[in-house]
Structure formats: C-alpha cells, structure tokens
Chains A and B, each alone.
Chain A
C-alpha cells in the first residue's frame, strides 16, 4: 500500500467521508492562504476574524440544524422566514410590552418550538414532503413577520444586543490580551489533547491498530497550533473585543450536536432514517418521532439564529433572514452531505459554512461586487458537489483517492475493489 494512503489513513481515518472532510479542510486552508496573500494579510487580522465570526455565526448555527434535516432525508426552506418571524415577535414583546430581555430569549426559543411542532406535525404525522411544508412555512412566516411588524423595523434593548454583538468582558491582570478568551483557548487545547488520548485508548481497547505516536504528535501539533493562533488573534483585537458571544454560542452548539449525532442513540436513528427509512422502521426506530424532532429542532435553531441576527443589527426588520436557507443548505452540501440523505457530519457542515463565509469575506475585502460574489459562490457549490459525485462514481474514494491513484500499484485491500475471487477462495476453504 502506498505511503501516502497510509499517512492519510493515519491522520484522518480511512473512510471515504473522512477523506472528503480532509479535502474540505484543504480547500478551506487554500482559501484562507489565497486571500491572506491577496489582501496583504488583511484576512487573518484580529479585527477581520472577529467580524467574520459575528457576521456568519447565525448561518453556521442554521447549518447544524440543516445538516440533521438533510441527513434525515428532508430539507427546510423556511429557516430564514422563521428567523425573521421570531426576531419580530421577540423585538415587539420587548419594545411594546417591555419584556425583560432574558425572558425575550426564552420567548424566542418557545416560538421556535411552536413553529417546529407545526412543521414537524405536517412532515412526520401527515406525510407532506418537507419541501412543501417548509415552502409554505417560508411564505407564512415571512408574511407573519411583516404583519406583526407592519413591515417596519423594531429596535431591541441594549441587554439583548449582547448575544449578537457582545464580547467577553475584560477581567484580571493586563496581559495585552482578552484574558477570558485566553482561558477558553487553554481549555480548548486541553480538550483536544484529552480527546486524542481518549481516542487512542478506545482504539487500544478495540484491539485495533493504534496510530504511531509521531502521527498523533503531528495531528496534535497542527490542531494546537491552529487553536493557539486563533486564540491569540481573537484575544488580541481592539480593547473591549474578544471572541464574540455569538461565536461562543456557536462553539457550544457544535460540540453538543457533534456529540449527539455521532455518539448517541438519537443521532444514530437520524442517520438510519435517512439511509433507509423502511429498514429503520423495521429495526424499531420510531420514524415519525425522529422526523418530528428533526424538523422541530431546525426551527428552534432558526429562532436562535434569528435572535442573534436581530441582536447584532440591534433591530428586527422585514428583510431579515432573506435567503439564509440557501446559505445553510449550501454549507451542508459543500460539507459533504448526500442529497439523498443518510450521510454528512456536523463538523463537515461547519467547514463547508466556513468555506462560504471566508470566500464571501475575502471577496468583500477585495471590493468585489455582490454580483460577482454570488456567481463565485454558486460555482463553488456546484463544483464541490460535482467533484464529490464524480469521485464517488469512480469508486467511492474521494479526493485523496484521486490524488494518489497515479502512485498506487496495488489497490488497498479494503476499498471497493471487486472482492470476487478472493472471497470465493475463502469460502471454499471454510466450507470444505
């Protein structure tokens, strides 16, 4: 087996979806480097990174929910409208009925739950395709936003703005950095090391091959390097800025949902439903409940995203959340989810979302008009998915497979090579 495949397997795990993720991460790195050079170092400045996070965190939050919807085999077109509807309800409640802002957030989440239950009911229990239900929802809740807000903007109070435009406070000794952000960074480093160690432990318990220590070392070094760099950037911005609150909300959600989708029974059931609904049902998965919860969860996250957006722009307006659904869906597909459901990861979708965000940001920094930005984003989406489809048709193994094919004499033992004669020989042996 070629050394390159070996290395790739060690660093990223051997499965096709990991290879895909590796490809996405490389693309992300390439985009960052490209814009870093093109903008003379503007992309990776503290100010710009902080702006990117606060400007795109709500899209990434939507992408988490959308990933689960798409994995379950559905789609949600209503998220932008749901976000806008929640925004106006919350803004109105705080403005006209002087609801305290923490209760405003609770109200917003409640609105998300109700809308989600409404859409989930039609999708799961009546069986109307999610495309239709959420297309209707898109119109319903956009109209609802304008009806409640009289197609006008409604400002939100100072306290509420924190979740969209707030930063961590400055505490402790003057280090020249935002101390809380530094602490967060340190915690992240510890978390990464612990996770890596845990993973090695698990592999050992399974009696599986444990990657050589130097490989783990390289992985850790790269990840820690990225975290330290990011921490210093986010902590080292203008006084009074730090990693934005919305970014922290996003990170918490990513960790929680990654865990849920990867490691829990509920998460497994979502993949099972998307992979083969009938088989899942016959294995005891409660199909309707899974569909209901997935749709509901999406609306709750949309409500949250809507509130963060309103907080950031300090007012709720009739044009909020326009075409967010498309950005979220694009992020999920660029991040490697399958159109037919059953495949995709939260982390992949986040990487996909970051690719879109940095592309947007970089082009804007360069003063490229929004016409060209849209054209480029459209092409990136198409090419990313087309590349993956093409690679799959060439034998499942994605980007890395293509890169290393010329160097490979013997096909690796496990990937999709026709297993025919080898397995037959075994059969005869066993039976005889």
Chain B
C-alpha cells in the first residue's frame, strides 16, 4: 500500500459467524481515499457478508473486529447509521420503485421539505444536477419502468449522491448491463475517482476489474487471501483467478473435440411481433440451423431479440407469431404450446432462473422432474422412489453441492441452482437445448463445470444453442456463432473466424454479411 494516500477505511480482523458456520474469519480490508477498490472472490467467499458488516446490516456486536472509518472507530447499528456517515451500497437488485418518476425515486425517504410538504421545486432542480453528475440524460419525470436497466443503475448511483456519499459500494453493478452501459459505468467510476470519491466494486467480470481497479482484495472461504496493487504488481485476469480459486486455471474452457453431424434442426422465416406493440417486430424473418453435436452461439447486444427468438420458438411463449416454420430431422414440426415443444425434444433454460426458471418453494427433486412428470408416473400417480432415484443420479453426475435432494432449491448457490435447472431439462430427453445466459451470476469454478456439462450433452449427439452476452464465453465454447441485431440475424461465423472485433461489428450492423 502506498504510504502517500490516506486510508479512508480499515476493517481489522473481522470475524462473523452464523450458527454452525464461520462466514468471515479475521478478514482485513484497507481502502485508500479516492481509489477504486475491487473485492474478488467466488460466490460464497464472504464478499457480501463483509459489505453487510460494513454497512450495518449486520450491526455492531454481531461480529468481532474493528472498523476504522476516516480515522475513527465506528459502530454502525443499522444501514441508516452507515449512510449518515456517507457509506452507500448499491445492490445488484436495484431498489427503485418502477411506477415512480426518476425525481421521486432519487429523493425517496430523503425528500426535501418545506413547511411539512415535499418541496418539489428544489427536488426537480437537485434531480437535474444529480443526473448531470452521473451522465444521465433523461426527463426527470420519466417513470423508472420506462428506462433501461443501465439507466436505472445510474439513477441508483445518483441517489447515492443525493445522500452525500463518501464511499460508494457497488455490488455486481454491470451484471445486468450490456457492453455499452457497462463501459459507461466504468468511465463514471473513473470520473468519481478524479473527484475524490472512493468506490468499492464487487464483480465477477474480471476484465472490468482489471481495467478499472487500483487495488484488489481477494477473499476465499471467508479469509483475506491477498491485496494486490494493480499497477505495481502487474495484475492480470489469470493472476486474479489464481488468487480466487487457489490454483492456476490452465484453461477457462474444458478441452473439447467437436464431433459435428448432420443438420437436424432448422428454422425458416421466423417472424414474431412484440406482445404489446403492433409495429415492433422482435424477430424479422430469422433463419438458422443446428447440427447434431454442435454448440451454436447467439451473440447480440441486450435487446437484440435473442431471448425473444428462443422463447417464441419454445411453444410461442413470447410475443405474437406471424410467420415461420420449424423443421426437425427434415420434417416440419408444430410448436404451438410448451408441451408441443417439450414433446418434440426442445428444452429452454431461461436467462432468469429465479423468476421464471424455478419454483423457489420446491425442493431439488421436485424441481428436477417438473418438466416431464409423466416419466416418473404410472397412471398419473407419481412414484416417489423413481423421483428420488432420478434426482440422486443428477445430483451425482452434475456434482450438485447439497446435503440431499430433499433440500429447498432456494438454499443452493447460483451455480448449483443452475445445475438443477439443467438437470430439469436434461430429464426431458431433449435433442436441442437452448441455454439463455447459462453462466450469469455464477462463479468461475461453477462456470467451468457448466461448460463441461454442455460439452457432454453435444458429445451425446444433441444440439445446444447458447445465448450469452459475454463474447469470450461464446468464442471459447461455441462451434459456430450467429450474430443478432435488432431482431435480424446478421451473421453466421465459424469458430475459426470468431474474433471479438468481427462479432461486435456484426452485432451492431444491420446488413447481413455474407457467410464465410
């Protein structure tokens, strides 16, 4: 640590235990004034717990150790106390009211008052100033639900500034953002640094951390592993990964020799209208095909229509179908309902496993068999023994970390939940699996395992479609990549030609490029 800058925050030997488990053991964290400090670690390494200790969610007394902030020992009893001291956390799930305007959200719980009533004039004026600060150009009366996630994120940050923030903590700020919005956010953080605002950023996107952070603290298993000075120590992504997992990852993708067969799935002239807007088409005459044993990627910016394409294929679960045919093994098939799609061997693993992929009230075994109950039932009565056996098999073959298949899925980590969803769809014996953002919010180790599962599936002769917003993932995993721009498929790129620059160009261009 450079001695020139003063230390803004120091957390010393923080230990926090929950009944039966030690979440944090003697963790140390030192943040200098005016830097961007990244905290890295796999899911469950203790990052969030540490931030909850700092912000008073876990109040003073529920942990041991000291927090020294601006030279004084602090004891926060709740979030309000830490916010008063200028420490503001922005969580992954944004805390905005969708039906309220930007201004109303900015001052929610913090409204400027005049003679007992809300002073809207001052609020409006301050709102414009705050939006300027974060580079958000919108009418302050716009409702939150009418702006994109990227802009919502900016509103959250502006809200922090309304509270006179000294230390801004961002938990996975770019997880839901597309490339452009992420870049804008990172630039914003750099701007804050110049103005002397200190930030702590928690992220799984190591390339962003490498690009923006001054110091990186790595946690593993609730312990501080190391603190790296990005410039002095010459840190790169591999170095961070090594610290996080305690070993070098030779490759972030498992070895895989493709064994590609015939075209077995083909979509022609697929056109779908947006569910609520008459003019907007979310798929415009899309045509593509998948071969047996092939991993096909769909690259595109957020809102390009990839999820919409997948869901409209999967039993017309999105929008209004206008035209298009689907062929499987040379014969046209009708996919009017989800049951049709499942019967014809399609599986769709949604991008949002918590809100539409899983019933969070279910236990693991119930979730795994949910999409094809008839397989374990006799005369519509479910056989509990078969159910248990099936779940046990998947638990072992997918290495799901759980004491038993009777546990609720809600208790699992993101990676293990994703494996349960994969098992659920593998159980339907699909020929084509469509995986929408299969590794979102999952840590490095679990990602590697998911890639392995995908490769095992294609090795069995199935086809897999992967929709992902992370180009390196698509390039590393897929045999072929389609690029999508505003509902149109703009390119079909073979593995050998898949370069980020080329893909990015096609993801932002309307003209269909000749297929190589």
Contacts and interface: CB of A to CB of B under 8 A. Distances in A.
Chains A and B belong together in one complex: yes
Contact of A276 (B358, B384, B399): B358
A118 to B, nearest CB: 25
B22 interface: yes
Contacts of A271: 359, 361-362
A419 B21 contact: yes
A286 B371 CA distance: 12
Nearest to B444: A431
Contact of B449 (A276, A278, A431): A431
A24 to B, nearest CB: 19
Nearest to A208: B388
Given A420-B21, A427-B445, A432-B247, A272 B359 contact: yes
Interface residues of A, number: 48
A23 to B, nearest CB: 19
A421 B23 contact: yes
Interface string A184-198: 000000000000000
A6 interface: no
B401 A423 contact: yes
Interface in B333-384: 337-339, 341-342, 348, 350, 355-362, 366, 370-374, 377, 380-382, 384
A417 B46 contact: no
B338 A420 contact: no
A282 B401 contact: no
Nearest to B44: A420
A15 B410 CA distance: 14
Contact of A421 (B46, B337, B360, B446): B46
B413 interface: yes
Nearest to A338: B361
A158 interface: no
A411 B222 contact: no
Contacts of A393: none
Contacts, number: 156
A418 to B, nearest CB: 5
A199 to B, nearest CB: 10
A343 B341 CA distance: 29
A279 B445 contact: no
A423 B388 contact: no
Contact of A284 (B350, B361, B371): B371
Nearest to B43: A424
Interface stretch (A126-134, A138-146, A163-171, A260-268): A260-268
Contact of A282 (B338, B407, B411, B443): B338
A140 B99 CA distance: 35
B220 interface: yes
A206 interface: yes
A410 interface: yes
B449 A282 contact: no
B179 interface: no
A427 B446 contact: yes
Given A417-B21, A418-B18, 6 more contacts: A205-B385, A283-B371, A284-B339, A414-B404, A426-B401, A431-B245
6 contacts: A276-B358, A279-B358, A281-B338, A414-B403, A418-B18, A420-B46
* 8 residue pairs, one from A and one from B, having the closest CB atoms: A275-B359, A411-B20, A411-B19, A420-B44, A283-B371, A276-B359, A275-B361, A431-B445
Interface of B: 18-23, 42-46, 49, 220-222, 245-247, 314-315, 317, 337-339, 341-342, 348, 350, 355-362, 366, 370-374, 377, 380-382, 384-385, 388-389, 399, 401, 403-404, 406-407, 411-413, 416, 424, 443, 445-446, 448-449
